Copies of this chain bind each other. A is one copy, B any other.
Amino acid sequence: MANQLDSVFSAMADPTRRAVIERLLDGPASVSDLHATHDMALPSFLKHIRKLEDAGLVTSQKTGRTRMIHIEAAPMRAAEDWLSRQRKLWEGRLDRLQALAETLERNPQ
């Protein structure tokens, strides 16, 4: 689990990879199609794809000479859940601080 969060957050830490994820949410795409909108050498781009695949965020299937890339939504969900939990803890704490401030306002001591 900790390893999954590591690899998912790390994969999301690059704008090229985030753009790839955004594109794939519209549907599977070939490496060439994905690459076409990025101004970098193909081997470099493939490294990004590889990182997304290693993080479990995408899967790929080679058919003939074409490799199609498919999104996998669950790992991203794990990252969102972690962040969401922290936000809830934070908001809960703010609520308690607010309540304490109001109490002190009524009962200055």
Contacts and interface: CB of A to CB of B under 8 A. Distances in A.
Interface of A, helix, strand, loop or mixed by DSSP = helix
Contacts of A102: none
Contacts of A14: 6
Interface of A: 2, 5-7, 9-10, 12-15, 18, 21-22, 25-27, 71, 73, 76-77, 79-80, 82-84, 86-87, 89-90, 93
21 contacts: A2-B15, A5-B12, A5-B18, A6-B13, A7-B13, A9-B9, A9-B12, A9-B13, A10-B10, A10-B13, A12-B79, A13-B13, A25-B86, A25-B90, A25-B93, A26-B93, A71-B90, A73-B90, A79-B83, A80-B80, A80-B87
